Structure 1
Amino acid sequence: MKLSHSSTVSAPAERVWSVVMNVPTAARCVPGVAAVDPLGPDKYKGSLLVQIGPVRLVLDGEIAIVSRDDGTHKAAFRADAKDTRLGGTVRATIDVALKDVASGCEMRIDGDVQIAGRIGEFGQPVIQRKSDQLLAQFAQCLGRTATG
């Protein structure tokens, strides 16, 4: 499943970039992140709690920075997680790009997500709505954190 989200963040790209590339700090802006711990250079483990309708997912997994370009403010991430209680896995590649605009910076997030097991039974429209909601909240928090 392809996901795409664009938001305007109320801070300059350079400041937002420094937050995004500090994964533990950026993770605090993701609604539902319970923990993020380093595993090594550019690799982290963590937990994400997500409520979709009446179902609560607990996704435990890893995220890694695959590539980064500090000059153009572009990065690629890879995430793998599973919910052992409900039964299912999520694998994602995520591209993040920042560009200065008059009101701060534009943040574009493009992802390719593979969902397996019972988690996939929610359907693409439900997952798309939830991801849009989470990414909008993430962008707002990034702006506050970058200017704070």
Structure 2
Amino acid sequence: MELTETHTLPVSQQSAWEALNDTEMLRACIPGCESIDPDGENAYLVALSAAVGPVKARFKGRMQLTDIDAPNSYSIVFEGQGGAAGFAKGNAHVSLEADGEAATRLSYTAHAQVGGKLAQIGSRLVDGAARKIAGEFFKRFGARLGGAEAEAEAGGGGGGGGADGAAAPGAGGNAADQTVPHNTASTDAADGESGGDATKRKKSWTAWISKS
């Protein structure tokens, strides 16, 4: 399976890079994601639930960031096991390019291989499910980025706190939950985001990347 797409994000390239390296932001935007936790240098353990056609399972896997060129690009090597549902493994390359001062063009190419029941249901269903998950991710990601940017502008312009002094993104109730127009792929309505203790789980990939 190969998946190649381009999306425009409503923030600067640096802000987009920081968001892509924010595990709490990613956990909230990846459909069905339960956790993303550090597992060594530039590596993370991921747990998520997904449905591919008639196959539904909870997957646990690991992903490693390689070829890191902040704030322009990185590659991801991933593998996951879903018990009787089968497995998935592959790699992806993500690149960012400024599109003016307040927008960023994100492009990625992903290659994946599946086995077990996932391989038996056919490549068309697997490809369709992958595109749906990716589309929902970018729908949520763009909305949260746009909401966070609008909140930052509102908070920075007033000088004082008052009613506009909203909490920072990732600290529980995100103002970015408000859907903002963007040109990413549109899919079905978002699944209920898993809760979790944001304060405990809030870890920036950027901090880990800086150690390399």
Task: Report the TM-score, using the length of structure 2 for normalisation.
Answer: 0.63
CA contact (8 A) 2:53 2:129 kept: no
| Counterpart residue identity of residue 103, structure 2 | G
Provide the rounded CA distance (Å) in 2 between the counterparts of 1:55 and 1:116: 12
CA shift, 1:24, in A, is 4.3
2:9 counterpart of 1:14: no
Provide the rounded CA distance (Å) in 1 between the counterparts of 2:136 and 2:130: 10
Judge which range, 96-105 or 2-11, deviates more: 96-105
Partner residue in 1 for 2:74: 75
CA contact (8 A) 2:68 2:75 kept: yes
Structure of greater relative contact order (alpha carbons < 8 Å, 6+ residues apart): 1
2:64 counterpart of 1:64: yes
- SS of the aligned residue for 1:31 comes to coil
Superposed counterparts of 1:129-148, under 5 Å: 129-147=128-146, 148=148
**Larger helix share, 1 or 2:** 2
Structure 1 runs (4+) greater than 6 angstroms displaced: none
Partner residue in 2 for 1:127: 126
Partner residue in 2 for 1:39: 39
Larger radius of gyration: 2
Identical aligned residues as a percent: 17
Identify if the C-alpha distance between structure 1 residues 100 and 122 changes in structure 2 by more than 3 Å, giving closer, same or farther.
farther
- SS of the aligned residue for 1:41 comes to coil
CA shift, 1:54, in A, is 3.1
Q: CA RMSD in A?
A: 1.8
Judge which range, 116-125 or 20-29, deviates more: 20-29
Identify if the C-alpha distance between structure 1 residues 33 and 60 changes in structure 2 by more than 3 Å, giving closer, same or farther.
same
Identify if the C-alpha distance between structure 1 residues 114 and 53 changes in structure 2 by more than 3 Å, giving closer, same or farther.
closer
Partner residue in 1 for 2:3: 3
- SS of the aligned residue for 1:40 comes to coil
CA contact (8 A) 1:8 1:139 kept: no
- SS of the aligned residue for 2:36 comes to strand
Provide the rounded CA distance (Å) in 2 between the counterparts of 1:129 and 1:67: 29
Provide the rounded CA distance (Å) in 1 between the counterparts of 2:69 and 2:21: 10
**Larger strand share, 1 or 2:** 1
CA contact (8 A) 2:99 2:105 kept: yes
Task: Report the TM-score, using the length of structure 1 for normalisation.
Answer: 0.87
Count of paired positions:
146
CA contact (8 A) 1:5 1:132 kept: no
Structure 2 unaligned blocks of 5 or more: 149-212
